[in-house]
């Protein structure tokens, strides 16, 4: 294989583990905490939906094991585990598999790890690949999910659940480990309950993945991949800022991935100090219209033009469109209509016929808004939902919509004599280029630890848990490994026109330190060219450069 010098050097990297996981598996203890319950409003419905998994306790690994600790009942026996990579790739997935594999082998060299190919569909369809030490050696500390592939199949129908169970039983698995985001881990919780209802001892353990950073709560400080992806986007945004200050002729509108949540946009803003960074959650809270957002951008463009600076950078979160109240109402009506009239709608020939059909069924306000949007955006809003019922926001070109609206508004202002600058723009979408980057040292360590923890949870005979590693803003020798019951993170949401139990998505908190830090600084950034250029991610060198966690994590963990 012709591999790059960096890939070769990364093979030699030895990820750090939390102290409890270092040393022989036999010395590992498990401390059981209080039962972890979901939000009060959803307790009775979730108890009814998950009678066997509801009310489990948080657990934490300790070393040495203390009297009263639950033992690693299955720690020394040979285990057979299956692993799934689910949803969008996130840097570090290969290291989760490496940590899981090494844990299994440390417990008993006869243990085996099977990969399900192409995501959850691999479990349903029994498509597997044996993960050997030789295979894994080619993927350690590398980005991507290509060792076994990923997919977005939602295990939903009774037939799919039965097929998943038949596969796991047929392979005589002790556990299935699902590496995924909120939707995939919701699936993991449902599978765990289903297996338990079958009186099977096959465990299901989840691992918190997603570059979006929205799978977090009081127990999960960060999802893996967020650190690497934001470092990569921040490098690129910093470079764009410097280019804009060098050429002095463009405003750059940069859409950043992240689906609904603006964690990525906020983190990149904290690292790069752009002129404008839109935060969807604030836009929703302030009930800002598209017109308000355009005016906010125009204010910065205009103030900078007065100072002779006809350039700048605007960060646009991927999911923005869903948070503008009038657009949110439109999307939710579209979701209901598309679910209700699925067959009729799909039978129509061509996108124009589909637009006309749907627009004829919308309520009058929403119909007016839909008709006012550019044709391309109308079509993008109608594209298929993903298997979990989400609008595919990565395909809606919000950055282009906003740039065009800003240009039109500036032309009006210029006509009225209220704007005298020059405005030209470029648009960018940063997303896919960050999902398979070589994991940062942080993600390489975190992912390896999450995988090793998943093994330890299986070895303790637990099921329905999400692998957790805490105290992440501190060096790895202070990290704490444990597990959190999946059901405790769930609530009930409207999906595909129905109420469904799902793991709660964590959006940006407007009272949280990361947002408040940004909000206190942004007025100065809007007017100045005091950009911050973070430069490329470093893998070798001084720990303060190579191991620095995200600003979000640092701010959230500082009391």
Burial level of 68, CB count in 10 A (0-12/13-18/19+)? exposed
CB of 255 to ligand FBP, least distance (A): 11
CB of 21 to ligand FBP, least distance (A): 25
* Cβ-proximal residues to 48 (8 Å cutoff; 6+ apart), any chain: none
CB nearer to ligand FBP: give 233 or 525.
233
C-beta atoms surrounding 494 within 10 Å: 13
Report yes or no: 487 and 46 within 8 Å, Cβ to Cβ.
Answer: yes
* Cβ-proximal residues to 524 (8 Å cutoff; 6+ apart), any chain: 530
CB of 530 to ligand FBP, least distance (A): 29
CB of 257 to ligand FBP, least distance (A): 4
Q: Alpha-carbon distance 351 to 396, whole Å?
A: 16
C-beta atoms surrounding 502 within 10 Å: 21
Say which of 69, 102, 182, 212 is annotated catalytic: 212
Q: Alpha-carbon distance 448 to 224, whole Å?
A: 10
CB of 478 to ligand FBP, least distance (A): 27
Cα dihedral sign for 288, 293, 295, 299? positive
What is the length of the chain? Answer: 559
Helices (H), 54-157: 93-107, 120-124, 133-137
Which residues form the interface with ligand FBP (CB under 6 A)?
Answer: 87-88, 90, 181, 210-212, 257-259, 318, 393-394, 435
Q: Alpha-carbon distance 74 to 67, whole Å?
A: 18
CB of 190 to ligand FBP, least distance (A): 17
Q: Alpha-carbon distance 378 to 390, whole Å?
A: 16
Q: Alpha-carbon distance 142 to 298, whole Å?
A: 42
Q: Alpha-carbon distance 435 to 226, whole Å?
A: 9
> Which residue sits closest to ligand FBP, CB atoms considered?
87
CB of 229 to ligand FBP, least distance (A): 8
| Alpha-carbon distances, residue 64 vs 23, 61, 460, 478 (angstroms) | 10, 9, 15, 15
Q: Is 342 a catalytic residue?
A: no
Report yes or no: 382 and 335 within 8 Å, Cβ to Cβ.
Answer: no
Active site residues: 212
């Amino acid at each position: 294989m012709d591999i790059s010098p960096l890939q070769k050097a990364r093979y030699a990297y030895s990820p750090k583990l939390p102290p409890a996981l270092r040393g022989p598996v036999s010395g590992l203890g498990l401390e059981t905490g209080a039962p972890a319950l979901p939000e009060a409003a959803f307790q009775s419905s979730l108890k009814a939906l998950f009678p066997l998994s509801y009310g489990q306790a948080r657990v934490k690994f300790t070393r040495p094991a203390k009297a009263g600790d639950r033992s690693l009942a299955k720690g020394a026996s040979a285990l057979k585990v299956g692993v799934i990579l689910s949803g969008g790739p996130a840097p570090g997935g290969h290291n989760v598999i490496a940590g899981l594999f090494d844990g299994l082998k440390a417990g008993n060299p006869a243990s085996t790890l099977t990969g399900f190919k192409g995501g959850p569909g691999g479990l349903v369809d029994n498509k597997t690949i044996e993960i050997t030490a030789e295979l894994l050696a080619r993927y350690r500390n590398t980005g991507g999910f290509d060792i076994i592939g990923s997919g977005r199949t939602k295990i939903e129908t009774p037939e799919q659940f039965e097929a998943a169970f038949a596969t796991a039983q047929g392979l005589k698995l002790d556990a299935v480990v699902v590496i995924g985001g909120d939707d995939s881990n919701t699936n993991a919780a449902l599978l765990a309950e289903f297996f338990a209802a079958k009186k099977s001892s096959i465990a299901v353990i989840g691992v918190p993945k997603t570059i979006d950073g929205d799978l977090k709560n009081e127990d999960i400080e960060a999802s893996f991949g967020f650190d690497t992806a934001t470092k990569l986007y921040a490098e690129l945004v910093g470079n764009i800022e410097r280019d804009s200050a060098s050429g002095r002729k463009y405003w750059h509108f940069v859409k950043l991935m992240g689906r609904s949540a603006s964690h990525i946009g906020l983190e990149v803003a904290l690292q790069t100090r752009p002129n404008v960074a839109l935060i969807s959650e604030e836009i929703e809270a302030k009930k800002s219209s598209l017109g308000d957002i355009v005016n906010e951008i125009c204010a910065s463009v205009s103030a900078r033009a007065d100072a002779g600076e006809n350039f700048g950078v605007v960060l646009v979160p991927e999911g923005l469109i869903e948070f503008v109240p009038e657009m949110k109402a439109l999307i939710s009506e579209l979701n209901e209509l598309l679910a209700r009239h699925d067959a009729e709608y799909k039978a129509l020939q061509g996108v124009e016929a589909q637009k006309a059909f749907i627009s004829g069924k919308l309520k009058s306000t929403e119909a007016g808004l839909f008709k006012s949007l550019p044709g391309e955006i109308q079509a993008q809003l109608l594209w298929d939902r993903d298997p979990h019922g989400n609008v595919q926001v990565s395909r809606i070109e919000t950055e282009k919509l906003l740039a065009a609206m800003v240009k039109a508004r500036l032309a009006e202002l210029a006509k009225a004599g209220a704007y005298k600058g020059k405005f030209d723009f470029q648009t960018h979408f940063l997303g896919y280029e960050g999902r398979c980057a070589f994991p940062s040292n942080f993600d390489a360590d975190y992912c390896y630890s999450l995988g090793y923890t998943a093994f330890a949870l299986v070895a303790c005979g637990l099921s329905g848990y999400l692998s957790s590693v805490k105290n992440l803003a501190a060096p790895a020798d202070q990290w704490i490994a444990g597990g959190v019951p999946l059901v405790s993170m769930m609530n009930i949401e409207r999906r595909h026109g129905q109420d469904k139990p799902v793991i709660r998505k964590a959006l940006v908190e407007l009272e949280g330190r990361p947002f408040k830090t940004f909000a206190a600084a942004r007025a100065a950034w809007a007017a100045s060219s005091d950009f911050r250029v973070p430069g490329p991610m470093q893998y070798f060198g001084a720990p303060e450069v190579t191991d620095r966690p995200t600003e979000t994590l640092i701010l959230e963990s500082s009391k």
